[in-house]
Every structure is written in C-alpha cells, then in structure tokens.
Amino acid sequence: MDNAQDVLTRISEKYSSMSKSHKLIADFMREHYDQAVFMTAAKVGEALEISESTVVRFATFLGYDGYPELVRALADQVKNRLSATAKMDVKYGHKNQSEVLKAVMESDMEKLQDTIKNLDPDAFDMAVKAILNAKNIYIVGIRSCVPLAEFLHFYLNMIRGNVFLVNTTSVSETFEQMIRVDDKDVVIGISFPRYSMRTLKVMEFANDRNATVITLTDTIHSPMCLYSSINLLAKSEMVSIVDSLVAPLSVINALVVALCLKRPQAVKKNLESLEDVWNNYQVYLNDEINFIDEEPMLQNPLKKEKNE
C-alpha cells in the first residue's frame, strides 16, 4: 500500500464495519486528507474529541503498521496532483460547456456562503486592528496564493506604509527579508491546499520573534493555524486542478474596505498623491486606455518621435 488512493479505497471498503469513532476518523480523512498529513495522531484525536490511541488503532484497522505509515500514504495523495484531474472528470466529465460554467460558479457561490457562515467576526476585527497598529507588515503567499498576496500588498500600500511582499524564490532569501521582524510587526501568511511548507516556516519564524501572525487559510485544522494568533478562514477547495480563490479574495476585499473605513483621510491623501504622480509622469504614455470619444494618446507622440 504505497499511495493515498489505496487509503481512501480501503476506508470505503471497510467503512460499514467500522465503529462510531473509526467512522469519525474515516470521514475526517476522506474530507481533509490534505490537512491530516500535517497532523499527529494526538492532533487528529483532539480535533475529533476522541483518544489518540483510537486514531492509532484506526491505522492498524486499515492494515497499516501504525499511524506514521498511514500519514505517509496520505502524503502521496497530496503530492500527486493528477488525482485532481480524475476527480474533476468524475464531477464535470459528463457536462457540456455551459453546464460546466454554471457548476463551477455555483461551487464558488457555495464557498462564499460557507465562508460567510464560518468566518469569525472577532478574528476579522482583530486582524484589522493588528494591521492598522503594526510597525511593519510582511505578506507571504506561494504558488497559487501569489496573486492573493500581491493583491493584498497592492491595496495595503494605499492605506499605510511599511508593507512588504516577501519574495519567496528561496528559503534563505525569505528569511533574509524578514531578519528584523519583531513584536511590533504583523506577518500575514496565505496558504491553501496543497499547503506550503515555506509559508509555514515563515510563520513559525515570525511567531518565534513574537510578531502578530495572521493566517488566511481554509480551515482551523490547517497547519497554518499552528503558529498564527488570528485565523481568517475561507473555503477554497474545488474538484479541479485549479484552486478556487473566490472566497479568499472576498475576505481580502473585506479587509481592505474595513481598513479604508478606519483611515479614510490617509487613503484619500495617498490616492491624491498617486494622482499627482500619474499626472506628472504619464502625460505622454498612458498605461490605462480609458477613452470613449477620443483616440488613445499613444499614437501621436510616438509618431512624432519616429519622424524626428
């Protein structure tokens, strides 16, 4: 038994003969296997309010030598992205194009509804206050979370200064950029399945430095919650090779709006300064085409230069 599909298959085959506690573990493994790979037997037991020994016996019941072997098999599933294409084919393979469009959008709406229901408003308020009061803010997002990190960085820069998007091309560079992190700073780690070990290490480092650590992730069982003091939870999984970022992006939008409402004058001043910069330095080359009655101003200056 060397891959996680064997785990899920064996769980299905043995499910009807499982005890009530084992069925709880089985349901958790099937629903949250990408989180379980980061969890000890004790953590799984704590999450399900059962004993650690029951979790260990569950692994034995499935035919494994122990819980670590079960976790290694689950880890193969997390590493094997091709499994997502198989699940996608099962769910969407029989649908036509318009049905796929509708199904994906309905799935995104469900994730938004789930996020509205489960996001802790107190945690949201704490995040807003922490971001406003921090000396420096560091934002970390890797792989599919890079667009979320960049989006948040762009708008936080309009609200306040000292906001840093951490370059994550290598582990050493990441820590070099954060060498001065202390207890007056906020570190925001964004990660969804498949979770990033680099993001987790950054959050661990920030926690060791007594910084306020905020995570944007999908569930309280996410490994990102190990080192965060403020957890913003947004549903993200989708039966596809593409991560659904609709709900996480909506949470970021809400953060930005809440922060703007707290500092309207600062935002207005920053936007006016930007407007001055755009007027002064983009007179002859507009990066945004926003003309209705006029032709874009790009062509005339460029033609003149060519003729000269």
State yes or no: pLDDT of 150 exceeds 80.
yes
- CATH class (in words) of the domain with range 4-79: mainly alpha
Least confident of 22-36, 186-200, 210-224, 243-257: 22-36
For domain 109-262, the CATH superfamily is: Glucose-6-phosphate isomerase like protein; domain 1 (3.40.50.10490)
Least confident of 41-45, 73-77, 196-200, 291-295: 291-295
What's CA 177's distance to the chain center, in Å?
21
Highest mean pLDDT among 27-41, 54-68, 169-183, 231-245: 54-68
Portions of the chain given CATH number 3.40.50.10490: 109-262
- How high is the pLDDT of residue 308? 45
Contacts of 130 (CB under 8 A, 6+ apart): 186, 212, 214, 230
pTM of the model: 0.59
Portions of the chain given CATH number 1.10.10.10: 4-79
Question: Residue 130: in which H helix or E strand, if any?
Answer: helix 121-133
The confidence band for 15, taking pLDDT boundaries of 50, 70 and 90, is confident
H, E, C per residue of 30-71: HHHHHHHCCCCHHHHHHHHCCCHHHHHHHHHHCCCCCHHHHH
Q: For residue range 207-216, list pLDDT tens digits in order.
A: 999 999 999 9
The confidence band for 92, taking pLDDT boundaries of 50, 70 and 90, is very low
d(CA 58, CA 75): 17
d(CA 220, CA 201): 18
Least confident of 14-28, 86-100, 237-251: 86-100
State yes or no: pLDDT of 34 exceeds 70.
no
Q: For residue range 101-137, list pLDDT tens digits in order.
A: 777 777 778 788 888 888 889 999 999 999 999 999 9
- How high is the pLDDT of residue 289? 52
Q: What is the mean pLDDT of residues 62-76?
A: 86
Residue with tokens 């999984």: 237
Structure tokens at 86: 């198989």
Residue among 151, 125, 146, 160 nearest 232 (CA): 125
